[in-house]
Structure 1
Amino acid sequence: MTKFKLAIPANLLLGCKVDEWLEIALRNQVAEITLGGPINYKLPHILFRAKSLKHLDCDDVEIPYYEVVDLVSLEYLHLRDVVLEERMLFHIISSCLNLKELVLKFCPSFKNLVIPRHSKLEDLYIGGHVPEDGGKVILETSSLRSFQYNINGKNAPWPIISNRGLLRNLRHLSVTSLSITGEDFSKLLPELTSLEKLKFIGCHMLTNIEISHTQLKQIFFLECDDLLNVVIDAPNLKKFKFYGYTEPSLSITIHSQANCNIHIYTYAWYFDTDGFFKLKKLLKGLNSCNVLKILFIGGSSQVS
């Protein structure tokens, strides 16, 4: 058996039967398990001693604390609306030495998330709720290739990086509602030597930002409505996208052979003389691009 997938209706409580079915699947060396069920279904201990399991995807379940976690083959762990203690989350991450991808969506019960030094984790996604007040994401590993910190609600602090250089292998960084300024990012950028894709969403503390990076290929600013000035020197940039209420003063320097696509979406109910001056200034700030698309949402003006 390679895959076991079970969706349990919320009004149908079959906890004991699910335990039996899981046991059968695990006896047959199942590699991938997908479970979705009522919030009061507790994953049994046998599941966390499954040496054959490579992919575990859980939705609306509870994970109790177990002393023994022996998921030696686990590579992908996806948890959505899952209740688990902080110590159990750390126990899983610390024990699963081959874990490559961790996805946490709307799992609000942990406070601190620590990615230990020995971890081989490459892809980390934290979405939905921010960790509890005072909580932190602490990175101690240099293995990360993709980090998406997409939270809701209040602005969250930037994760703690225990040592300089731990982000040298990061290629994709996406942050939402992060309390980060342009000055903060300028200090961080030299450590992101391999970064190729950068996305800011709803980061309202960003007002002025300068980005100089030779490896960057994609840059996105989405709903960063306090952004005033953006200066980009990225010779290999392939795609730039801005989406917001007011377009900032924008300067982008790229190689003429980079074939860069630039998309700017901004809200405007009418396009007056000031609007044309802003557009002229914007076009002056773009030295070369393959495709330029400017869309004024809410009005009838569109430039391509």
Structure 2
Amino acid sequence: MELLTPNMDQWIGIAVDRTASELAVCIDSLSGSDRYFYSVPQSVLLASSLKVLSLCGCRFESGLDIKLPHLQKLSLSHSCFTDKFSFHQILSGCPVIEYVKVSFCIWMDTLLSVSSLSNLKYFEFLYCDGIDNVQIDVSDLHTFSFAPSLGNWPRSINLATCKALKELKLSGVRDTANFWHQALTFQIQALEVLEFRSCHGLGSIRISSQRLKRLAFRGCRHFSGAEIDTPNLEFFECCNCDNPFIPIKASDDIKIHLRFSLSGKTVDWVVKLNQFLLKLRFFQDLKFIVYHHSKNMIIHEKLSEIRFSSLCHLMRPKCICISSKSYKDLLDELFPSVFPKSLFAMYCSTKMIEILSQKMKDLGKDSTLLHKLVGFEVILSKDAKHPSDPATEYFIQAHSTARFEIATIILNWKYNVYKHSVTL
């Protein structure tokens, strides 16, 4: 870092002297378990021309003068503050700031306080150490995202004055009942987007809103359910939750995305799921995927043709995805963590095979995956191979009709030793 700093100071000085409107600095300085930070020079924090500033791996020293009169967007990640007043001073020096994102930073204060920023519309604060109390006093804030570090949910989050809040995204909520009643009950009527991620131990909650358009639960273990009365809800997502089935009063045009394990589910639960899906106006357009992380995947083009009674034979260790999303979006979401050896596609349109073949080609070019696809083979119906998994074979046989062709795609994966272990 001692060798790097003089050059960094010079390069940044050139950018500031040329009145750059956007500056991004990312220092990847990991050495074993240690991290070395680049000290932000005073010139950056007095650069009146800056409108966008993104800093990663940087340190904010005490006593810096901060005057960024035109800064609109600020992103800070994997950085540290040497005293508890630094972040407040930064925001105070950005009078017209509209967007702030802070993630994985070393924090020196137990209080996160944001106020007196009339233009601030978007504030995201993720995985920073030591926050015990959150006080957001921004009347025109539209979006607030918060995730604690290491599951340490703060004792209080006060959003009482955020009357214009439209989107609320929370990760790691622990004391759901108190938080829901103290911080959200009075605001839920104004929200249009509400998302929960990795909120373990979510108790039963009631969500009633005429304005809510998007509701999502992701990775919420031991979730006991929710009473949802949202007649204008347009999109509902529930992924990797212990209780993915939630009755909904929602718009007839609602789109859904459900992803869950069949392990532990009863036949009655499967029946209720089927009844819920049949009520949806766009039931015919829903996509259906059954998968095991490292064995077989089944894609059926028509959910309306699925015999839900057959799912009882897939209880373990299969997972199911039922979604309004496109096949491309679904596969983009699944394949970073799912790498089946065989993919069985039940289709009535060759367009699906074209989509799958193109996706396999794209995967072969993607060097960022932990398991890299080094080859694949598409085998059409007349030469299709039988799956080695009895449950998969039973499902395919149960749904084999004259309307559907079956294609088998054999996938050859290789562990990618060159995948970066650290991503900033």
- By the TM > 0.5 criterion, same fold? yes
Higher-Rg member (1/2): 2
Q: CA RMSD in A?
A: 2.6
Match of residue 99, structure 1, among 66, 80, 97: 97
Residue of structure 2 equivalent to 1:278: 269
Residue of structure 2 equivalent to 1:29: 19
In 1, the alpha carbon distance for the partners of 2:319 and 2:66 equals 59
Q: CA deviation at 1:87?
A: 0.6
Q: CA deviation at 1:67?
A: 4.5
Q: CA deviation at 1:128?
A: 2.2
Match of residue 47, structure 2, among 39, 42, 50: 50
Residue of structure 1 equivalent to 2:114: 115
Q: CA deviation at 1:171?
A: 1.7
Match of residue 70, structure 1, among 59, 67, 72: 67
Please give the secondary structure, in 2, of the residue aligned with 1:190.
coil
Is 1:157–1:180's contact at 8 Å kept on the other side of the alignment? no
Q: Does 1:201 align with 2:197?
A: yes
Is 1:211–1:233's contact at 8 Å kept on the other side of the alignment? yes
Deviations 1:118-167 (A, max 9, x none): 442211111223x31x63221111121111112342241365326x3x23
Is 2:132–2:156's contact at 8 Å kept on the other side of the alignment? no
Q: CA deviation at 1:276?
A: 2.4
Residue of structure 1 equivalent to 2:337: none
In 2, the alpha carbon distance for the partners of 1:88 and 1:68 equals 10
Q: Does 1:265 align with 2:256?
A: no
Residue of structure 2 equivalent to 1:142: 139
Is 1:72–1:98's contact at 8 Å kept on the other side of the alignment? yes
Is 1:114–1:139's contact at 8 Å kept on the other side of the alignment? yes
Residue of structure 2 equivalent to 1:169: 164
Deviations 1:258-281 (A, max 9, x none): x112222221248xxx62211223
In 2, the alpha carbon distance for the partners of 1:301 and 1:99 equals 44
Is 1:158–1:179's contact at 8 Å kept on the other side of the alignment? no
Residue of structure 1 equivalent to 2:226: 230
Distance 1:54 1:158, change over 3 A: farther
Please give the secondary structure, in 2, of the residue aligned with 1:185.
helix
Q: Which amino acid aligns with 2:43?
A: I
Distance 1:217 1:294, change over 3 A: farther
In 2, the alpha carbon distance for the partners of 1:150 and 1:71 equals 27
Deviations 1:216-242 (A, max 9, x none): 111111111111222211111111111
In 1, the alpha carbon distance for the partners of 2:166 and 2:25 equals 31
Trace 1:216-227 onto structure 2 (pairs within 5 A).
216-227=212-223
In 2, the alpha carbon distance for the partners of 1:293 and 1:227 equals 25
Distance 1:126 1:290, change over 3 A: same
Q: Does 1:160 align with 2:132?
A: no
In 2, the alpha carbon distance for the partners of 1:186 and 1:296 equals 38
* Aligned length, in residue pairs: 285
Q: Does 1:240 align with 2:231?
A: no
Residue of structure 2 equivalent to 1:128: 127
Consecutive unaligned residues in structure 2, runs of 5 or more:
30-35, 293-313, 323-424
Please give the secondary structure, in 2, of the residue aligned with 1:199.
strand
Distance 1:289 1:119, change over 3 A: same
Residue of structure 1 equivalent to 2:7: 17
Consecutive unaligned residues in structure 1, runs of 5 or more:
1-9
In 1, the alpha carbon distance for the partners of 2:127 and 2:151 equals 11
Is 1:145–1:171's contact at 8 Å kept on the other side of the alignment? yes
Q: Which amino acid aligns with 1:114?
A: S
Residue of structure 2 equivalent to 1:178: 173
Q: Which amino acid aligns with 1:138?
A: Q
Please give the secondary structure, in 2, of the residue aligned with 1:125.
strand
Q: Which amino acid aligns with 2:174?
A: S
Deviations 1:283-302 (A, max 9, x none): 55565442456766654575
Q: CA deviation at 1:89?
A: 0.7
Distance 1:252 1:28, change over 3 A: same
Distance 1:255 1:36, change over 3 A: closer
Is 1:261–1:289's contact at 8 Å kept on the other side of the alignment? no
Please give the secondary structure, in 1, of the residue aligned with 2:154.
coil
